[in-house]
Amino acid sequence: MWHYLHRRVAAHYGADPLHLLALIACFALAGYAASRVVVAGVWVGFLIWFVGAAIFHDLVLLPLYAVADVATRSVGRRRPAGGAGRPPWINHVRVPMGLSGLLLLVWFPLILRGSQHEYRKAVGLDTSPYLGHWLLVTGVLFAGSALAYAVRVRRTSRRARRRADLTNQRTRR
């Protein structure tokens, strides 16, 4: 019964039913957040911020990280490949860079100490640790990504050696 229902929903919807459920959950969460903004009475400021953020993203940030991505990939093309079958490395750079950039975008007034006076007045703390913490998180993200890439390279080379050994054994027979 489940397979029949799954196929019917997938045929009409065009994707897996879990995708539809995830979209419904996202819209429900967004609707709830929007209702809380309206109830709080800050919807005009939120709308201005939201439209400004969308325009800033599309006109400034998207071209910047598109250029950064092209530059990163061109560096990889200039260097000779380490070997056939080596896993692609680009996402192991993109993910920590994207997460670090997102953290910087969200917390830049504190990281760059642009709101030192207001922050101290509001919470009584100094903004000086934020730069160090952001750099530490960025380093951990890149180190974790490098470790994940090293594991993938090692796994790939082991598989290649096993295939080569099997091929050699078959040709000897």
3-state secondary structure of 153: helix
Contacts of 87 (CB under 8 A, 6+ apart): 149, 152, 153, 156
* Structure confidence by residue, pLDDT tens digits, 55-93: 988 999 889 889 988 888 887 666 544 455 678 888 899
Give the burial class of 69: count Cβ atoms within 10 A of its Cβ; 0-12 exposed, 13-18 middle, 19 or more buried: middle
The answer to whether 90 and 76 have CB atoms below 8 angstroms apart is yes
Mean pLDDT for all residues in the chain = 87
3-state secondary structure of 75: helix
Task: Give pTM, 2 decimals.
Answer: 0.63
- Of all residues in the chain, the percent with pLDDT exceeding 90 is 38
Instruction: Identify the pLDDT of residue 65.
Output: 84
Domain boundaries, the chain: 1-40, 42-79, 86-173
Number of helices followed by number of strands (H, E) in the chain: 7, 0
Dmax (CA) for the chain in angstroms is 80
* Structure confidence by residue, pLDDT tens digits, 32-58: 999 999 999 888 988 998 899 899 889
* Structure confidence by residue, pLDDT tens digits, 156-166: 888 878 877 77
Query: How many CB atoms are closer than 10 A to CB 46?
Result: 15
